Structure 1
């Protein structure tokens, strides 16, 4: 009887996984059609949230999550061209000034959210960090922050920043090639020797991270190894679209499965405050872009896209499909900010959370 029961629950769980996969694909395609950023990550996340509301918590296996984290690291390395890195080295003060200005603004806003007890201190810092949303979410999870709220803050900002950037681009100058964003290339040719080498690189990243036991190890080690492979020209890194969609889905399911009923209600409750903080950050970055225009003779659209707080992949798409935009400068600024958060993000989150906690304690004593 117990064997039959076990078989029944296994079949039931298999059916749930199939239903989750189908729903995730449908939502993702719909979001992709309307040009939502990170559609094939957000779609599975939303689907997993819907399942969690019905007490169907579909949590992927931990080894699979680590493998997908390494894949994201390799993907990030492809978005960091050598030209962007050389651009940073030639204008260090400009890039450091731009990066630190945005980080200071995001830290102040996150401190306000934490001080007002909207979200915990570390969640506020990681959720407001203007790096790549997926990277910040994965790093926050490895450093013990509530990944549900961090993901909510990060991807809400990605959507709002991307929409704002698209509107600014539309009014400054026409965008070419936008209809191609609706196409999903699932049947692209695959160079199998390079793809196999890429999978080996990802596997090595996971194994090395297991022994080094670094927070966000699979992600960071994969970035370092992939950049080395690209620089030395050992082989061409290949990440087919269906494989990337699968990795996005695993990460999205991992995040969405944590949104049980209580967590979802709390997320809805704090969303207005988070939206206000995001709008303030977008406004501050817009002022910084005006400074670039005035004092460094950079065209307005390039300056705005370069200073946009996060959503680097979406910003890259908008920049590359716009006329007369210095894509190298835009990606260099986004790259510089991402590198800074990869290196100093954990320290910044810890110290800022400690400062906010002390301020709250002092306020309590005074009252």
Structure 2
């Protein structure tokens, strides 16, 4: 009997979450906000998480990883053989951009910890621009408040995503909306053999990432391997919009459901400090994107999306719907992603030990 009640509660909660997400997505679409199929479910799941009773539903980890994998293939499709020349021709702004984000985020975390504005080493791990999941797990191991680390990490993703969408909306209001509402390649004119190959490749690469226990591999492996296979004409990447929209929804829900009423209530006292630090990092990245525009003749939207400190998956979804230099955006994001994944844990561990002495 209890099992039946729990099962019915899950169905009821899924129905509420779906309804709120559909309404959020519809409203965002009506006002022509880009990436609404990501932002709608993200906002809807956060609203859903505010309910008094603890939710019994969550996104399956393998399903989330597969969604990241398909998004990785989408990114790989835009990474033609011109990406390496792109990095070479812009190597100075690329590496300066990476250094700006790492230095700024590290300094903010150090400052918040030194001034004891957040408990323990929470600020160091919460400010780190690495993969949110990895930083949350590592932070717990070094005595940080894991819930506040999660709030800092995912709040930055949400803020960066929303700000990037708003900027895209005002800069390319008509174009981005027209590009976004393209529903070609759904069921008709779809090469099902190519789709099967793409699904098989994604599944294999995600399983490899899981076996290697790589938290970033589900996104990174399909990007790298997919781009290589495509440029050697071994694989043709074609993903239908219904599949991509499904992935957007799953990623949006996964981010939003990380929050719950207890976490939000607990973080209210620290929320102003967290928001200020988050917006400071986003602001510094925004200023550097202005430098890219002025000195390297890059359009403002491409520069901002390339520098945005949000999750690579979220930025890829926004960039895909906008008239930007996708190779430049994703080359910058991927380069930063790789360097940060290598350096962020080392820097954060060092500062955590130093501040704990």
Pair in the same fold by TM > 0.5: yes
- Structure 2 match to 1:92: 91
Distance 2:22 2:242 in 1: 11
SS at match of 2:336: helix
- Structure 2 match to 1:34: 31
- Structure 2 match to 1:61: 60
1:50 aligns with 2:47: yes
**Residue pairs, 1:1-367, within 5 angstroms:** 4-52=1-49, 53=51, 54-115=53-114, 116-118=116-118, 119-126=122-129, 136-137=131-132, 140=135, 146-164=149-167, 167=170, 169=171, 177-180=175-178, 183=181, 185=183, 188=186, 189=188, 190-289=190-289, 291-292=291-292, 296=295, 298=297, 301=300, 304-305=303-304, 308-310=307-309, 312-313=315-316, 316=319, 320=323, 327-328=324-325, 331-332=327-328, 334-358=329-353, 360-361=355-356
Q: Given the superposition, is the C-alpha separation of residues 194 and 269 from structure 1 closer, same or farther in structure 2, using an over 3 Å criterion?
A: farther
Are the equivalent residues in 1 in contact too, given 2:194–2:236 (CA < 8 A)? Answer: yes
- Structure 2 match to 1:365: none
Shift of 1:263: 0.5
Cα deviations across residues 312-361 of structure 1 (Å, max 9, x unaligned)?
A: 447736862xxxxxx54x742x3343223332323332233234435544
Distance 2:18 2:34 in 1: 19
Are the equivalent residues in 1 in contact too, given 2:25–2:40 (CA < 8 A)? Answer: yes
Shift of 1:248: 2.6
More off after superposition, 86-95 vs 139-148:
139-148
- Structure 1 match to 2:142: none
TM-score, normalised to structure 2, is 0.78
Shift of 1:217: 2.7
Distance 1:307 1:253 in 2: 24
Structure 2 unaligned blocks of 5 or more:
140-145
Distance 1:290 1:250 in 2: 33
Distance 1:343 1:51 in 2: 34
Cα deviations across residues 265-295 of structure 1 (Å, max 9, x unaligned)?
A: 244444433443344345434544554566x
Distance 1:233 1:71 in 2: 19
Distance 2:158 2:109 in 1: 15
Are the equivalent residues in 1 in contact too, given 2:45–2:257 (CA < 8 A)? Answer: yes
Shift of 1:303: 8.1
Are the equivalent residues in 1 in contact too, given 2:180–2:322 (CA < 8 A)? Answer: no
TM-score, normalised to structure 1, is 0.76
- Structure 1 match to 2:143: none
SS at match of 1:206: helix
Shift of 1:156: 0.7
Are the equivalent residues in 2 in contact too, given 1:288–1:307 (CA < 8 A)? Answer: no
Are the equivalent residues in 1 in contact too, given 2:42–2:256 (CA < 8 A)? Answer: yes
Task: Return the index of the structure with the highest Cα Rg.
Answer: 1
SS at match of 2:82: helix
Aligned length: 337
For the aligned residue pairs, the C-alpha RMSD in angstroms reads 3.4
